[in-house]
Chains A and B, each alone.
Chain A
Amino acid sequence: MKKKEIRQFILSFVLALVIYGAIMFAMNSGIINSYWSGILVVACINVVLATSLNLASGYLGQLTLGHAGFMSVGAYISALSSIYLGTPFIISLLIGAVCAAVVGLIIGIPTLRLKGDYLCIITLAFNEIIRVIMLNIGITNGAKGLMGIPMETNFTVVFISAVITIYVIACIVKSRHGRAIISIREDETASELAGIPTSYYKILAFTISAFFAGIAGGLYAHYITILIPKVFDYNKSVEILVMVVLGGLGNLKGSIIAAIVMTILPEYLRAFSDYRMLLYAVVLIAAMILKEKNLVPHLKAKFLKKKDDVEEATE
């Protein structure tokens, strides 16, 4: 097992390096212009957001609509830290992420007793509360926007952040802790009676998810260099959730692909940009109707007429 895992690790690492090298080469030689490299940066930030939300919604099974809230906490705190404390970029990022995690912890403890629709509504409310706070306190400069954030984020930084996020979440999910988290999604009572401290793991997964949302926020702040509260409204939360649902709840690869596609596609569909939210609604409904946890295996099974797992095992 150890050998297999190390081989897999090296393979993924090499793959990430190759992708990074190819994109960097394309950027430097001008195949990808500065407009598209900007979109790639946003795509990587979205990958961080989608994979981290997947931990809370896909693996833990708690549907939350407050991910943009955690992102905004990370964005504002890291930006303020850079501007007023003059901290180095990495430190600002981490301060923002830790603050987002602390907020996640504070929100998580009372709300994770709730399930389904109730949790959705509470996290949605939290998202709006954060947005209104950012709009009204002096230090964030409200609706005029927080300006003067140093431009630090580049493709290398977001790519490394995305790889680290994916790696950490993949590791957690494969460990005993991840199995505990997934078992809560499957059946909370049974999980409790199998000896899993369910409250602890729910809060832990939620907090980790908020931490990475904070990182994404910090990256965003130092890339756009101006923060307006309106960016972090519930539309942003829905957008991230759509990525996760489209990629498949509890499917990391799906989240990555969906995040990239959902960032690049709107660029091609500029003419229809007014109808973007309409499209998201249709996508969500379609995903629900197909009802499968993963769209891809579902379609695969349909087209390839894949044999049942049990049949295969008994043969």
Chain B
Amino acid sequence: MTLLKTEGLGIQFGGLKAVDEFNFEIDKNQLFGLIGPNGAGKTTVFNLLTGVYKPTSGQIIFDGKSLLKMSPTQITQYGIARTFQNIRLFKDMSVIDNVKVGLHHSQNYSMFASIIHTPNYYKGEEAIEEMALSLLRVFDLDQFAYVKASNLPYGKQRKLEIARALATSPKLLLLDEPAAGMNPTETAELMETIKIVREKFSIAILLIEHDMKLVMGICEKIAVLNFGTVLAFGSPEEIQNNPDVVAAYLGNEE
């Protein structure tokens, strides 16, 4: 069943068509890879899907609804969460508070309730604490719960960012180069984490990645982006044997 569908999606910055005629579909609970050479427009696609950029043409349908008129906040609340290529944690907040920000909408006690400490406030805070800790446990971060986020090692910061994104209880998780800057051991660990996340939370994942081993290893479907358009679309085997893709990455033989 289709979860996300884009039709002729495009954005133009001045005369430059950063993304043009971008068509693709993601099914529920699918692991989807988006690859392509540097500057192909992969992150721009993420920014279009999350509402950071407004597309100049085309349509985005997510879970039966158009996302074009929604703000980034509304899109997140509707079920798309993301991580960033360069980690963007709330650095001065504790690890658990980072996740708690993502859980903001899981409780609805008012500001007034937090001032006079109604039972609703205590219930809400306890529920948030519980949920945040169980999320951190999935990523093995619970022992660092009260450490400042910026003091975490790099690989754990990446994990925390995924945990924060998951806290918004998304239906689709966008990961922007999750393995960037990781060593092979950390990458292998990350592959496992991504698989666990998909099974445990039963969500669809769309990931941008340059690490071909990771992409080919876990993605069920892959789209190759070049100069803002989709060059190829298919299973990992199909992509590996596609002459256009090989040409885009390595150049033509002549």
Instruction: Give chain A's interface residues, CB within 8 Å of chain B.
Output: 1-2, 5, 9, 167-168, 171-172, 174-180, 182-183, 186-187, 189-198, 204, 250, 293, 308-310, 313-314
Known: A176-B100, A176-B128. A195 touches B109 (CB 8 A): no
- Chain B residues contacting A186 (CB-CB under 8 Å) are 89-93
B114 within 8 A of A: yes
Which residues of chain B from 34 to 83 have a CB within 8 Å of any chain A CB? 50, 52, 71-73, 76-77, 81-82
CB atoms of B168 and A179 under 8 A apart: no
Nearest 8 CB-CB pairs, A to B? A175-B114, A186-B90, A195-B76, A190-B88, A183-B101, A310-B151, A171-B115, A192-B72
Residues of chain B contacted by A9 (CB below 8 angstroms): 117
- B93 contacts which of A183, A196, A198 (Cβ < 8 Å)? A183
In the bound complex, do residue B72 and residue A193 qualify as a contact, i.e. CB atoms below 8 Å apart?
yes
From A2, A172, A176, A195, give the contact of B73 (CB < 8 A): A195
A172 neighbours in B (Cβ, 8 Å): 111, 114-115
**Complex formed: what's the CA distance from A127 to B9 in Å?**
47
Residue from B89, B102, B146 having most chain A Cβ neighbours under 10 A = B102
**Taking the nearest CB of chain A, how far is it from the CB of B9, in angstroms?**
19
Give the residues in chain A near B153, CB-CB below 8 Å: 310
Q: Which residues, 121 to 138 on B, are CB-close (under 8 Å) to A?
A: 121-122, 124-126, 128-129
- B218 within 8 Å of A by Cβ? no
Say how far B245's CB is from chain A's closest CB, in angstroms: 30
Using known A-B contacts A182-B93, A187-B88, determine if residue A1 contacts B129 with beta carbons closer than 8 Å: yes
Q: B82, B111, B121, B144: which has the most chain A beta carbons within 10 Å? A: B111
CB of B91 within 8 A of CB of A194, answer no
Question: B18 contacts the other chain (Cβ, under 8 Å)?
Answer: no
Within the complex, what minimum Cβ distance (angstroms) separates B167 from chain A?
8
| 16 A-B interface contacts by CB (under 8 A) | A167-B115, A168-B115, A175-B125, A176-B107, A182-B90, A183-B93, A191-B101, A194-B81, A194-B102, A194-B165, A194-B167, A195-B105, A250-B92, A309-B148, A310-B152, A313-B143
Pair B101/A197 contact, Cβ less than 8 Å: no
* Inter-chain contact B115/A179, CB cutoff 8 Å: no
Report the separation of the CA atoms of residues A5 and B122 in the bound assembly, to the nearest whole angstrom.
10
Q: Is B84 an interface residue (CB 8 A)?
A: yes
Complex Cα distance A171/B121, Å?
11
- CB nearest neighbor in A for B110: A177
Interface residues of B (CB under 8 A from A): 50, 52, 71-73, 76-77, 81-82, 84, 88-93, 97, 100-105, 107, 109, 111, 114-115, 117, 121-122, 124-126, 128-129, 143-144, 146-148, 151-153, 164-165, 167-168
Shortest Cβ distance from residue A296 to the other chain B in the assembled complex, whole angstroms: 15
Chain A residues contacting B89 (CB-CB under 8 Å) are: 186-187, 190
B107 cross-chain contacts in A, Cβ below 8 A: 176
CA distance A41 to B5 in the complex (A): 64
Q: Which of A176, A187, A197, A309 contacts B151 (CB 8 A)?
A: A309
Would you call B104 and A309 a contact (CB within 8 A)? no
The CA-CA distance from A250 to B147 in the complex, in Å, is 18
In the assembled complex, which residues on chain A have CB atoms less than 8 Å from the CB atom of B151? 308-310
A171–B144 touching, CB < 8 Å: no
Which of A189, A190, A204 has the largest number of chain B CB atoms within 10 A?
A: A190
- In Å, the complex CA distance between A240 and B97 comes to 29
Closest B residue to A170 by beta carbon equals B115
Given contacts A182-B93, A191-B90, contact A196 B115 (CB under 8 A): no
A196–B101 touching, CB < 8 Å: yes
A98 to chain B, nearest CB (A): 16
Q: How far is the CA of A310 from the CA of B73 in the complex (A)?
A: 32
A239 CB to nearest B CB, Å: 26
Given the contacts A1-B129, A183-B90, A186-B92, A176 and B76 also touching, CB distance less than 8 Å? no
Interfacial chain A residues near B111, Cβ < 8 Å: 172, 175, 177, 204
Q: CB-CB < 8 A to B101: which residues of A?
A: 179-180, 183, 191, 194, 196
Q: Which residues of B contact A2 (CB under 8 A)?
A: 122, 126
The answer to whether A187 and B90 have CB atoms under 8 Å apart is yes
Complex contact B124–A176 (CB within 8 A): yes
Decide: B109 and A176 in contact? CB cutoff 8 A: yes
Question: Cβ of A192: which chain B residues have Cβ within 8 Å of it?
Answer: 71-73, 76
Compute how far the CA of A59 lies from the CA of B254 in the bound complex, rounded to whole angstroms. 60
A10 to chain B, nearest CB (A): 12
User: CA A176 – CA B109 in complex, angstroms?
Assistant: 9
- Residue in chain A with minimal CB distance to B71: A192
Distance A180 CA – B73 CA, assembled complex (angstroms): 12
